[in-house]
């Protein structure tokens, strides 16, 4: 198993997305580098780090600095925290590829930073979407991201 640590706005959203992927055994909401983050345990034989980053770049807005939707502040910044030199290389390539793809009009501002620490969020933040899918935030913000995930990455989504 490998670990990926990503920050892309509210961790409720990113947790809900990555929990649905084949090869992902665990997603924990928490804090890393001053940002709301998720730590993802995955089997690289089933889903690659490259694919995780492709999904990440498609389902967050990597062009906004310290902002995702209505969530504003440095805690909502977009960051790929690499755990080793290979992850750093893959992250840099992924960012260049996404920037060159024309997927976004504005340049990608996602940071690539060395992983230093991860602090698990309070228990009420864990599995938030599964426990609160009826709430307006989940309906308006998280559901469309899950719908996009299923539409664009169906082959990677758990049944």
In terms of residue numbers, what domain contains 151?
Answer: 2-156
Average pLDDT, stretch 76-81?
Answer: 96
pTM for the predicted model, two decimal places: 0.95
Average pLDDT, stretch 102-110?
Answer: 92
* Residue 51 near residue 24, CB atoms below 8 Å: no
Place of tokens 């440095």: 74
* Number of domains into which the chain is organized: 1
138 belongs to the catalytic site = no
And the tokens for 86?
Answer: 């290979």
The residue from 10, 27, 40, 142 that is catalytic is: 10
Q: Which helix (H) or strand (E) holds 130?
A: helix 128-132
**What distance in Å separates the CA atoms of residue 93 and residue 132, rounded to the nearest whole number?**
36
- CATH code of residue 80: 3.30.1060.10
* Residue 95 near residue 110, CB atoms below 8 Å: yes
Give the three-state DSSP class for 119.
Answer: strand
Give per-residue pLDDT as tens, 112-148: 999 999 999 999 999 999 999 999 999 999 999 999 9
């Amino acid at each position: 198993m490998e670990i990926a640590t990503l920050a892309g706005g509210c961790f409720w959203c990113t947790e809900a997305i990555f929990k649905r992927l084949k090869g992902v055994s665990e997603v924990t909401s928490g804090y890393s580098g001053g940002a709301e983050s998720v730590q993802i345990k995955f089997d690289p034989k089933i889903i690659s780090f490259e694919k995780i980053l492709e999904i990440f770049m498609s389902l967050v807005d990597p062009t906004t600095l310290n902002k995702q939707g209505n969530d504003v502040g440095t805690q909502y910044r977009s960051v790929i925290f690499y755990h080793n030199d290979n992850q750093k290389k893959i992250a840099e390539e992924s960012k260049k590829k996404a920037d060159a793809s024309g997927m976004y009009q504005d340049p990608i501002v996602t940071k690539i930073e060395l992983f230093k620490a991860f602090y698990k969020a309070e228990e009420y933040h864990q599995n938030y979407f599964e426990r609160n899918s009826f709430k307006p935030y989940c309906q308006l913000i998280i559901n469309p991201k899950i719908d996009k995930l299923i539409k664009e990455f169906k082959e990677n989504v758990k049944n």
